[in-house]
Amino acid sequence: SNTSSTAGSGLYSAETYDFTAENVDKVLDEVRPYLVADGGNVAVVSVADGTVSLELQGACGTCPSSTSTMKMGIERVLREKFGDAVKEVVDINRPSVTLTFEALNGQIDMLRSAIEGYGGVVQLATVDPAKGECQIKYKGPVPLGLGIKAAIRDKFPELNVV
């Protein structure tokens, strides 16, 4: 039997490519149909020093799920094809917020009234920008705590530990 005809195609292909903007664009053709179905698209802006700069377009640019789309879909496919060559995948339209105690506390302040409305109490304890870590003191329903964590990670994608 001949299985080589299917080995190099599809989402789960083991084939790898040279890490160039042209090849990144080619690999993104695998996820484009899903983005287009949601009224969006993605364009490769540049590939340099392990950083892939992309522009999420159309509905994707304003979608609240765009961060998870980048992480779970686009970044995963790129790492699958290019391995360790991919250090970071960034959306050029996403305003970068510097990870500081003040910025993080401001984000928590915006959520605080809703958190308290559900019987939760939240306080920012520490922020370590160098390690990409923050510690939050939270007391309340577990699902709400997970929601806080997700909201903070969405705003500060450089956080490794919340």
Among 33-42, 65-74, 138-147, the least confident range: 65-74
Amino acid identity of residue 59, one-letter, is A
Phi, psi for residue 140 in degrees, rounded to 5: 155, -170
Residue 161 lies in a domain: no
Average pLDDT over residues 47-54: 89
Residue 16 lies in a domain: yes
Beta strands (DSSP E) in 19-87 are 40-48, 51-58
Tokens standing for 104? 């993080």
Residue 162 lies in a domain: no
Domain's final residue, options 91, 118, 144 = 91
pLDDT in tens, 86-122: 888 888 776 666 778 988 898 899 889 889 999 999 9
Indicate if the pLDDT at residue 70 is higher than 60: yes
In a shared domain, residues 87 and 26: yes
Contact present, 161 and 132 (Cβ < 8 Å): yes
Q: How many domains does the chain have?
A: 2
In a shared domain, residues 37 and 83: yes
In a shared domain, residues 51 and 117: no
What is the reported pLDDT for 129? 82
Residue 96 lies in a domain: no
Range of the domain at 129: 101-155
Question: How far apart are alpha carbons 28 and 43 in whole angstroms?
Answer: 9
36-68 residues labelled b (16+ CB within 10 A) or e (exposed): eeeebbbebeebeeeebbbbbeeebeebeebbe
Domain's final residue, options 43, 69, 91 = 91
In a shared domain, residues 111 and 54: no
Average pLDDT over residues 130-134: 85
Average pLDDT over residues 6-35: 74
What is the reported pLDDT for 123? 93
What is the reported pLDDT for 124? 92
